[in-house]
Amino acid sequence: MSMLTPPGMGGKKYRITGDRYPRMRRPRHRRRIALVITAAVCALTLAGWGTLQLIDVFGGKGGTAQAAQDKKKCPGPGGAQQAGAMASSGTGKPLPKPADVTVNVLNATARGGLAKTTADELKKRGFKVGKVGNAPPAYDKKVKGAGVLLGAQTTSEGGRKVLGTQLEAAESKTDTRKTGDVDLIIGDTFKALAEPAAAQKSLTALTAPSKADPHCRT
């Protein structure tokens, strides 16, 4: 009897044919478990990284480099006001103070006494007063507005700009003089200089620094 003949089969022979054999497969539920574990590990890793980022931000560590960079750009004590004054002048030079501006007060109207009273008021406000009297023929009885601020080209962003805060309705003009003094020529519609509070507010606005950087602290 052949070894391929099972017992009780009457001596018949059976031959195994074909190339297919049963194969063992892993249960599908194990794959699902592996995928779930992998996803959980990734989620925990991302959560931990996010937590560390939040700690750095709120703890101030994350912004150390940026803060150091911003600190270099922040002006030191008094630097903000100086920077604002230089920016307002438009020439890279600080605006002059009223005490550094010499004003010649000249009356171009038919009303007497305007030059003196105006000069006295400017003196009270800190300006240096030069000549006081009638306007030259080129302007006498010819200024229809509130007034004219007349000076050298170099005073357009200096003395004339500062004096303009006291009479904002005045027209600013340039002549060929070489000195730094400024003429305030009073015109027909002139009533008075700007109110002291309003004039001071305008003067302060000229020298005020630009909007502070939120990263800068004083």
pLDDT one-digit tens code per residue, 139-191:
999 999 999 999 999 999 999 999 999 999 999 999 999 999 999 999 999 99
Distance between CA atoms of residues 142 and 137, nearest Å: 9
The tokens describing 181, both together, are 């003094």
3-state class percentages of the chain: helix first, strand second, coil last, to nearest 5: 40, 10, 50
| Type of residue found at 164 | G
d(CA 125, CA 109): 23
- Tell me the longest C-alpha to C-alpha distance in the chain: 152
Q: What is the average pLDDT score of the chain? A: 78
Secondary element (H or E) of residue 186: strand 182-186
How do 128-134 and 102-107 pair as beta strands?
A: parallel
What percent of the chain lies above the pLDDT cut of 70? 59
Q: What is the mean pLDDT of residues 115-125?
A: 97
Tokens standing for 53? 């980022």
List the beta bridge partners of residue 104.
183
Contact between residue 153 and residue 188 where contact means Cβ atoms under 8 Å apart: no
C-beta of residue 208 within 8 angstroms of C-beta of residue 89: no
CB atoms within 10 A of CB 101: 25
Using pLDDT thresholds of 50, 70 and 90, give the confidence band for residue 83. Answer: very low
Distance CA 180, CA 114 (A): 23
Q: Which two tokens stand for residue 14?
A: 């059976």
For residue 124, the 8-state DSSP code is: H
Helices (H) and strands (E) in the chain, counts: 6, 5
Q: What is the mean pLDDT of residues 43-52?
A: 67
